[in-house]
Structure 1
Amino acid sequence: MHVITLNGFPRNEIYILKSLIAWPHVYVHIRKPTVSEKDYERILSVFSLEERLRLIAHQFSTLSRENGVPHLHLSTAGRNQVAINEQRLYTSTSTHSWGEFNALGPGFKMAFVSPVFPSISKKGYGVDHCLPLLGRTNRFTSAIALGGINADRLQRMDSHTFNDFALCGGLWEASDPIREARDCYESQTEWINKKVTF
Protein backbone atom coordinates (compact mmCIF):
# COMPACT_ATOMS: atom_id res chain seq x y z
CA MET A 1 0.00 0.00 0.00
CA HIS A 2 1.23 3.49 -0.89
CA VAL A 3 0.21 6.67 0.91
CA ILE A 4 0.58 10.07 -0.76
CA THR A 5 0.73 13.29 1.21
CA LEU A 6 -1.42 16.27 0.38
CA ASN A 7 0.25 19.53 -0.60
CA GLY A 8 -0.86 21.26 2.60
CA PHE A 9 -0.41 20.10 6.16
CA PRO A 10 -3.48 18.18 7.34
CA ARG A 11 -4.13 17.88 11.05
CA ASN A 12 -2.09 15.08 12.64
CA GLU A 13 -0.36 14.38 9.31
CA ILE A 14 2.98 13.27 10.75
CA TYR A 15 1.32 11.11 13.41
CA ILE A 16 -0.79 9.41 10.71
CA LEU A 17 2.16 8.88 8.37
CA LYS A 18 4.39 7.48 11.09
CA SER A 19 1.61 5.16 12.23
CA LEU A 20 1.07 3.80 8.72
CA ILE A 21 4.72 3.44 7.79
CA ALA A 22 5.10 1.09 10.76
CA TRP A 23 2.90 -1.47 8.95
CA PRO A 24 4.67 -3.99 6.68
CA HIS A 25 4.86 -3.08 2.99
CA VAL A 26 3.56 0.49 3.36
CA TYR A 27 5.40 3.22 1.45
CA VAL A 28 4.89 6.94 2.00
CA HIS A 29 5.24 9.41 -0.87
CA ILE A 30 6.31 12.85 0.30
CA ARG A 31 4.69 15.07 -2.32
CA LYS A 32 4.61 18.75 -1.36
CA PRO A 33 4.97 20.70 -4.61
CA THR A 34 4.77 24.19 -3.08
CA VAL A 35 6.96 23.81 0.02
CA SER A 36 10.47 25.22 0.26
CA GLU A 37 13.55 23.01 0.30
CA LYS A 38 14.05 23.90 3.98
CA ASP A 39 10.50 22.83 4.88
CA TYR A 40 10.87 19.64 2.85
CA GLU A 41 14.05 18.78 4.77
CA ARG A 42 12.19 19.48 8.02
CA ILE A 43 9.50 16.97 6.99
CA LEU A 44 12.09 14.31 6.21
CA SER A 45 13.83 14.92 9.53
CA VAL A 46 10.85 13.73 11.60
CA PHE A 47 11.30 10.21 10.21
CA SER A 48 13.97 7.89 11.57
CA LEU A 49 16.69 6.63 9.24
CA GLU A 50 14.91 3.27 9.13
CA GLU A 51 11.58 4.90 8.26
CA ARG A 52 13.21 6.94 5.50
CA LEU A 53 13.97 3.68 3.66
CA ARG A 54 10.23 3.49 2.96
CA LEU A 55 9.79 7.10 1.92
CA ILE A 56 9.57 8.05 -1.73
CA ALA A 57 10.55 11.66 -2.42
CA HIS A 58 8.76 13.62 -5.13
CA GLN A 59 11.02 16.69 -4.96
CA PHE A 60 14.53 17.81 -4.09
CA SER A 61 16.22 14.60 -5.19
CA THR A 62 19.73 15.53 -4.03
CA LEU A 63 18.51 16.73 -0.64
CA SER A 64 16.39 13.60 -0.24
CA ARG A 65 19.29 11.26 -0.97
CA GLU A 66 21.54 13.21 1.40
CA ASN A 67 18.89 12.65 4.09
CA GLY A 68 18.76 8.88 3.61
CA VAL A 69 15.76 8.65 1.27
CA PRO A 70 16.83 6.22 -1.47
CA HIS A 71 13.61 6.23 -3.51
CA LEU A 72 12.74 9.06 -5.86
CA HIS A 73 9.61 9.69 -7.93
CA LEU A 74 9.71 11.30 -11.36
CA SER A 75 6.62 13.14 -12.56
CA THR A 76 5.31 12.74 -16.10
CA ALA A 77 6.68 16.18 -17.01
CA GLY A 78 9.98 15.41 -15.32
CA ARG A 79 10.31 12.13 -17.21
CA ASN A 80 10.22 14.05 -20.48
CA GLN A 81 13.01 16.36 -19.29
CA VAL A 82 15.41 13.86 -17.73
CA ALA A 83 17.79 11.96 -19.98
CA ILE A 84 17.06 8.25 -20.34
CA ASN A 85 20.35 7.27 -18.70
CA GLU A 86 19.50 9.46 -15.66
CA GLN A 87 16.07 7.90 -15.18
CA ARG A 88 17.72 4.87 -13.56
CA LEU A 89 18.01 7.01 -10.40
CA TYR A 90 14.22 7.02 -10.00
CA THR A 91 12.15 4.28 -8.37
CA SER A 92 8.76 5.40 -9.63
CA THR A 93 6.94 7.66 -12.05
CA SER A 94 3.41 8.75 -12.94
CA THR A 95 1.35 7.67 -15.93
CA HIS A 96 -2.19 8.55 -16.96
CA SER A 97 -3.08 5.88 -19.50
CA TRP A 98 -2.26 2.25 -20.19
CA GLY A 99 -0.50 3.38 -23.37
CA GLU A 100 1.82 5.62 -21.36
CA PHE A 101 2.39 2.93 -18.74
CA ASN A 102 3.05 0.22 -21.33
CA ALA A 103 5.64 2.43 -23.06
CA LEU A 104 7.83 2.72 -19.94
CA GLY A 105 11.21 1.08 -20.08
CA PRO A 106 12.27 -1.58 -17.55
CA GLY A 107 14.24 1.00 -15.54
CA PHE A 108 11.21 2.07 -13.51
CA LYS A 109 10.41 -0.29 -10.66
CA MET A 110 6.84 1.00 -10.43
CA ALA A 111 4.46 3.60 -11.76
CA PHE A 112 1.20 5.14 -10.71
CA VAL A 113 -1.58 4.54 -13.22
CA SER A 114 -4.42 7.03 -12.83
CA PRO A 115 -7.19 7.92 -12.56
CA VAL A 116 -8.73 4.52 -11.86
CA PHE A 117 -11.82 6.12 -10.26
CA PRO A 118 -13.01 9.74 -10.00
CA SER A 119 -10.69 11.59 -7.66
CA ILE A 120 -11.76 12.16 -4.07
CA SER A 121 -9.41 15.07 -3.34
CA LYS A 122 -9.55 16.77 -6.79
CA LYS A 123 -13.24 17.29 -7.34
CA GLY A 124 -14.27 16.57 -10.94
CA TYR A 125 -10.97 14.95 -11.94
CA GLY A 126 -11.41 11.55 -13.52
CA VAL A 127 -15.20 11.79 -13.80
CA ASP A 128 -15.15 11.58 -17.60
CA HIS A 129 -11.95 9.67 -18.29
CA CYS A 130 -11.27 6.90 -15.79
CA LEU A 131 -8.95 4.13 -16.92
CA PRO A 132 -10.38 0.82 -18.06
CA LEU A 133 -9.41 -1.88 -15.58
CA LEU A 134 -7.79 -3.88 -18.39
CA GLY A 135 -5.15 -2.84 -20.90
CA ARG A 136 -1.82 -3.56 -19.25
CA THR A 137 0.95 -5.21 -21.28
CA ASN A 138 4.05 -3.91 -19.45
CA ARG A 139 5.12 -6.50 -16.86
CA PHE A 140 8.54 -5.00 -16.09
CA THR A 141 7.02 -2.19 -14.02
CA SER A 142 4.72 -2.67 -11.04
CA ALA A 143 1.38 -0.94 -11.65
CA ILE A 144 0.15 1.12 -8.70
CA ALA A 145 -3.55 2.03 -8.95
CA LEU A 146 -4.21 5.68 -8.08
CA GLY A 147 -7.24 7.91 -8.15
CA GLY A 148 -10.35 7.71 -6.02
CA ILE A 149 -9.18 4.66 -4.10
CA ASN A 150 -10.99 3.78 -0.87
CA ALA A 151 -11.95 0.56 0.87
CA ASP A 152 -15.26 0.20 -1.01
CA ARG A 153 -13.76 0.76 -4.45
CA LEU A 154 -10.90 -1.65 -3.87
CA GLN A 155 -13.38 -4.49 -4.07
CA ARG A 156 -14.02 -3.59 -7.73
CA MET A 157 -10.39 -3.74 -8.78
CA ASP A 158 -8.44 -6.60 -10.32
CA SER A 159 -5.34 -7.57 -8.35
CA HIS A 160 -4.02 -9.33 -11.48
CA THR A 161 -3.96 -5.99 -13.34
CA PHE A 162 -2.51 -3.92 -10.49
CA ASN A 163 0.33 -4.87 -8.17
CA ASP A 164 -0.67 -2.42 -5.46
CA PHE A 165 -2.69 0.73 -4.81
CA ALA A 166 -2.15 4.24 -3.49
CA LEU A 167 -4.29 6.27 -1.12
CA CYS A 168 -4.55 10.03 -1.15
CA GLY A 169 -7.94 11.76 -0.95
CA GLY A 170 -9.66 8.60 0.27
CA LEU A 171 -7.33 8.65 3.27
CA TRP A 172 -7.05 12.36 4.04
CA GLU A 173 -10.75 13.13 3.65
CA ALA A 174 -11.87 10.18 5.77
CA SER A 175 -13.28 10.97 9.22
CA ASP A 176 -10.74 8.51 10.66
CA PRO A 177 -7.77 8.27 8.27
CA ILE A 178 -6.02 5.45 10.13
CA ARG A 179 -9.19 3.33 10.23
CA GLU A 180 -9.76 3.95 6.50
CA ALA A 181 -6.17 2.93 5.77
CA ARG A 182 -6.55 -0.20 7.89
CA ASP A 183 -9.77 -1.15 6.10
CA CYS A 184 -7.96 -0.85 2.76
CA TYR A 185 -4.91 -2.67 4.07
CA GLU A 186 -6.88 -5.57 5.49
CA SER A 187 -9.39 -5.87 2.64
CA GLN A 188 -6.63 -6.49 0.11
CA THR A 189 -4.25 -8.78 1.94
CA GLU A 190 -3.48 -10.68 -1.25
CA TRP A 191 -2.15 -7.44 -2.76
CA ILE A 192 -0.18 -6.46 0.31
CA ASN A 193 1.51 -9.85 0.32
CA LYS A 194 2.80 -9.10 -3.20
CA LYS A 195 5.56 -6.92 -1.84
CA VAL A 196 7.00 -4.41 -4.30
CA THR A 197 10.74 -4.99 -4.04
CA PHE A 198 13.09 -2.13 -4.84
Structure 2
Amino acid sequence: MIILLSPEQLVAHESVVVNGLFEKGLSLFHIRKQQFTDMEMVAYVGNIDGGYRKQLVLHSHFHLANELGIERLHVREEDRKQNKQHAFMDGFTLSTSVHAITTFNSLDAVWKYAFLSPVFPSISKKGYGITHTVLEDLRRRNNPHVRLVGLGGVNEQNCRQVFDAGADDIAVLGAVWNNTRPIQAFNSMYKTING
Protein backbone atom coordinates (compact mmCIF):
# COMPACT_ATOMS: atom_id res chain seq x y z
CA MET A 1 0.00 0.00 0.00
CA ILE A 2 1.22 3.51 -0.83
CA ILE A 3 0.13 6.38 1.39
CA LEU A 4 0.61 9.96 0.19
CA LEU A 5 1.05 12.94 2.49
CA SER A 6 0.00 16.35 1.29
CA PRO A 7 2.52 19.16 1.24
CA GLU A 8 1.86 21.62 4.07
CA GLN A 9 1.58 24.51 1.60
CA LEU A 10 -0.84 24.40 -1.31
CA VAL A 11 0.48 23.18 -4.65
CA ALA A 12 -1.03 24.29 -7.97
CA HIS A 13 -3.85 21.96 -9.06
CA GLU A 14 -3.40 19.88 -5.90
CA SER A 15 -6.91 18.40 -5.82
CA VAL A 16 -6.70 17.48 -9.52
CA VAL A 17 -3.46 15.60 -8.79
CA VAL A 18 -4.98 13.87 -5.75
CA ASN A 19 -8.02 12.72 -7.72
CA GLY A 20 -5.72 11.46 -10.48
CA LEU A 21 -3.59 9.57 -7.95
CA PHE A 22 -6.64 7.87 -6.46
CA GLU A 23 -7.58 6.75 -9.97
CA LYS A 24 -4.08 5.24 -10.30
CA GLY A 25 -4.38 3.21 -7.07
CA LEU A 26 -3.46 5.54 -4.20
CA SER A 27 -4.56 3.85 -0.97
CA LEU A 28 -4.74 6.73 1.52
CA PHE A 29 -4.18 10.49 1.39
CA HIS A 30 -3.04 12.30 4.54
CA ILE A 31 -4.14 15.94 4.65
CA ARG A 32 -1.52 18.08 6.41
CA LYS A 33 -2.96 21.60 6.26
CA GLN A 34 -2.77 22.80 9.87
CA GLN A 35 -2.75 26.45 8.76
CA PHE A 36 -6.14 26.17 7.01
CA THR A 37 -9.20 27.85 8.46
CA ASP A 38 -12.24 25.62 8.87
CA MET A 39 -13.73 27.07 5.68
CA GLU A 40 -10.54 26.41 3.74
CA MET A 41 -10.43 22.81 4.96
CA VAL A 42 -14.08 22.22 3.97
CA ALA A 43 -13.37 23.68 0.52
CA TYR A 44 -10.17 21.64 0.12
CA VAL A 45 -11.86 18.35 0.99
CA GLY A 46 -14.79 19.31 -1.21
CA ASN A 47 -12.46 19.47 -4.21
CA ILE A 48 -11.51 15.81 -3.75
CA ASP A 49 -13.93 13.36 -5.33
CA GLY A 50 -16.49 12.29 -2.70
CA GLY A 51 -16.00 8.65 -3.63
CA TYR A 52 -12.57 8.78 -1.98
CA ARG A 53 -13.75 10.26 1.32
CA LYS A 54 -13.07 7.05 3.28
CA GLN A 55 -9.45 7.17 2.07
CA LEU A 56 -8.75 10.63 3.47
CA VAL A 57 -6.88 11.12 6.75
CA LEU A 58 -6.93 14.38 8.72
CA HIS A 59 -3.84 15.61 10.59
CA SER A 60 -5.76 18.58 12.03
CA HIS A 61 -9.28 20.00 12.15
CA PHE A 62 -10.52 16.82 13.85
CA HIS A 63 -13.69 18.66 14.88
CA LEU A 64 -14.69 18.72 11.18
CA ALA A 65 -14.21 14.98 10.59
CA ASN A 66 -17.85 13.94 11.05
CA GLU A 67 -19.16 16.84 8.98
CA LEU A 68 -16.72 15.97 6.19
CA GLY A 69 -17.44 12.24 6.36
CA ILE A 70 -13.81 11.43 7.23
CA GLU A 71 -13.24 8.38 9.43
CA ARG A 72 -9.44 8.47 9.71
CA LEU A 73 -7.33 10.71 11.95
CA HIS A 74 -3.56 10.98 12.30
CA VAL A 75 -2.37 11.92 15.79
CA ARG A 76 1.03 13.62 15.84
CA GLU A 77 3.71 12.08 18.04
CA GLU A 78 3.69 14.96 20.53
CA ASP A 79 -0.11 14.74 20.85
CA ARG A 80 0.06 10.96 21.34
CA LYS A 81 2.54 11.44 24.16
CA GLN A 82 -0.11 13.61 25.86
CA ASN A 83 -2.81 10.94 25.23
CA LYS A 84 -4.92 13.34 23.16
CA GLN A 85 -6.13 10.39 21.04
CA HIS A 86 -8.55 9.32 23.79
CA ALA A 87 -11.00 11.99 22.65
CA PHE A 88 -11.19 10.32 19.21
CA MET A 89 -10.97 6.62 19.91
CA ASP A 90 -14.64 5.87 19.23
CA GLY A 91 -15.64 5.72 15.59
CA PHE A 92 -12.29 6.71 14.05
CA THR A 93 -9.39 4.76 12.60
CA LEU A 94 -6.23 6.19 14.15
CA SER A 95 -2.64 6.42 12.97
CA THR A 96 0.41 8.11 14.45
CA SER A 97 4.11 8.84 13.83
CA VAL A 98 7.22 7.52 15.56
CA HIS A 99 10.94 8.02 15.02
CA ALA A 100 12.37 4.95 16.78
CA ILE A 101 11.63 1.24 16.46
CA THR A 102 11.46 0.92 20.25
CA THR A 103 8.62 3.45 20.29
CA PHE A 104 6.87 1.61 17.46
CA ASN A 105 7.20 -1.70 19.31
CA SER A 106 5.51 -0.18 22.39
CA LEU A 107 2.41 1.12 20.55
CA ASP A 108 -0.86 -0.52 21.51
CA ALA A 109 -3.53 -1.85 19.18
CA VAL A 110 -5.57 1.37 19.18
CA TRP A 111 -3.29 2.43 16.29
CA LYS A 112 -4.07 0.98 12.86
CA TYR A 113 -0.62 1.97 11.57
CA ALA A 114 2.31 4.20 12.40
CA PHE A 115 4.79 6.07 10.25
CA LEU A 116 8.38 5.25 11.18
CA SER A 117 10.83 7.79 9.79
CA PRO A 118 13.20 8.58 8.26
CA VAL A 119 13.95 5.36 6.40
CA PHE A 120 16.15 7.35 4.00
CA PRO A 121 17.29 10.99 3.96
CA SER A 122 14.20 13.11 3.35
CA ILE A 123 13.38 14.52 -0.08
CA SER A 124 11.10 17.29 1.17
CA LYS A 125 12.86 18.21 4.46
CA LYS A 126 16.41 19.11 3.49
CA GLY A 127 18.93 17.74 5.96
CA TYR A 128 16.47 15.44 7.75
CA GLY A 129 17.80 11.88 7.92
CA ILE A 130 21.32 12.77 6.74
CA THR A 131 22.98 11.57 9.94
CA HIS A 132 20.53 8.84 11.02
CA THR A 133 17.94 6.66 9.28
CA VAL A 134 15.80 3.80 10.58
CA LEU A 135 15.82 1.39 7.62
CA GLU A 136 18.02 -1.19 9.35
CA ASP A 137 15.96 -0.85 12.56
CA LEU A 138 12.86 -2.23 10.82
CA ARG A 139 14.26 -5.73 11.31
CA ARG A 140 13.91 -5.27 15.09
CA ARG A 141 10.15 -4.85 14.79
CA ASN A 142 8.18 -7.02 17.21
CA ASN A 143 4.79 -5.30 17.38
CA PRO A 144 2.25 -7.53 15.59
CA HIS A 145 -0.74 -5.24 16.27
CA VAL A 146 0.23 -2.09 14.34
CA ARG A 147 1.09 -1.82 10.65
CA LEU A 148 4.52 -0.28 10.07
CA VAL A 149 4.68 2.37 7.35
CA GLY A 150 8.14 3.47 6.19
CA LEU A 151 8.39 7.21 5.55
CA GLY A 152 11.19 9.55 4.56
CA GLY A 153 13.09 9.71 1.29
CA VAL A 154 11.08 6.89 -0.29
CA ASN A 155 11.06 6.98 -4.09
CA GLU A 156 10.79 4.67 -7.11
CA GLN A 157 14.42 3.56 -6.84
CA ASN A 158 14.36 2.54 -3.16
CA CYS A 159 10.71 1.74 -2.33
CA ARG A 160 11.23 -2.01 -2.71
CA GLN A 161 14.00 -1.91 -0.05
CA VAL A 162 11.53 -0.61 2.55
CA PHE A 163 9.26 -3.61 2.09
CA ASP A 164 12.23 -5.96 2.03
CA ALA A 165 13.41 -4.51 5.37
CA GLY A 166 10.08 -5.37 7.00
CA ALA A 167 7.64 -2.49 6.45
CA ASP A 168 4.00 -3.29 5.69
CA ASP A 169 3.48 -0.15 3.62
CA ILE A 170 5.24 3.02 2.47
CA ALA A 171 4.36 6.70 2.68
CA VAL A 172 5.64 9.31 0.26
CA LEU A 173 5.68 13.07 0.01
CA GLY A 174 8.64 14.63 -1.79
CA ALA A 175 8.96 11.87 -4.41
CA VAL A 176 5.52 12.88 -5.70
CA TRP A 177 5.10 16.57 -4.88
CA ASN A 178 8.65 17.63 -5.80
CA ASN A 179 8.28 15.94 -9.19
CA THR A 180 7.12 17.97 -12.19
CA ARG A 181 4.97 14.97 -13.16
CA PRO A 182 3.51 13.79 -9.83
CA ILE A 183 1.00 11.30 -11.22
CA GLN A 184 3.65 9.61 -13.38
CA ALA A 185 6.06 9.52 -10.40
CA PHE A 186 3.42 7.81 -8.27
CA ASN A 187 2.46 5.43 -11.07
CA SER A 188 6.10 4.34 -11.51
CA MET A 189 6.37 3.59 -7.81
CA TYR A 190 3.04 1.73 -7.83
CA LYS A 191 4.23 -0.46 -10.73
CA THR A 192 7.57 -1.12 -9.00
CA ILE A 193 5.73 -2.40 -5.93
CA ASN A 194 2.79 -4.16 -7.54
CA GLY A 195 4.36 -5.36 -10.78
- Relative to the length of structure 2, the TM-score reads 0.90
Q: Is the 8 A contact 2:19 2:49 kept in 1?
A: no
What whole-Å deviation, never above 9, does each CA across 1:85-141 have from its counterpart, x for those lacking one? 446344211111101111100110111110000000000001111002422111111
Shifted more, 157-166 versus 128-137: the winner is 157-166
Q: Is the 8 A contact 1:95 1:113 kept in 2?
A: yes
Question: CA 1:179 to 1:68, structure 2 compared with 1: closer, same or farther past 3 Å?
Answer: same
Q: Is the 8 A contact 1:4 1:30 kept in 2?
A: yes
Once the two structures are superposed, the pairs formed by residues 85-164 of structure 1 within 5 Å of their partners are 85-86=86-87, 88=89, 89-131=92-134, 132=136, 133-159=138-164, 161-164=166-169
Kindly tell me the number of residue pairs found equivalent between the two proteins: 190
RMSD: 1.7
Partner of 2:177: 172
Q: Which runs of 4+ in 1 moved over 6 A?
A: none
Q: What does residue range 64-83 of structure 1 map to in structure 2 within 5 Å?
A: 64-82=65-83
Q: What's the offset of the Cα at 1:84? A: 6.4
Against the structure 1 CA distance between its residues 87 and 111, is the aligned structure 2 distance closer, same or farther, given a 3 Å change threshold?
Answer: farther
Q: CA deviation at 1:156?
A: 2.4
Whichever structure has more helix as a proportion of its residues is 2
Instruction: Select between 23-32 and 139-148 the one with higher mean Cα deviation.
Output: 23-32
**Structure 1 vs Structure 2: percent identity of aligned residues?**
28
Partner of residue 13, structure 1: 14
Amino acid aligned to 1:79 = R
> How far has the Cα of 1:151 moved from its partner?
0.3
Counterparts of 2:111 and 2:77 in 1: how far apart (Å)?
12
2:194 aligned residue (155, 178, 189): 189
Give, in angstroms, the shift of residue 152 of structure 1.
Answer: 0.4
In the aligned structure 1, how far is the partner of 2:163 from the partner of 2:50?
A: 34
Question: Given the two structures, how large is their TM-score scaled by the length of structure 1?
Answer: 0.89
Structure 2: 5+ residue stretches without partners: none
8 Å CA contact retained: 2:115, 2:148: yes
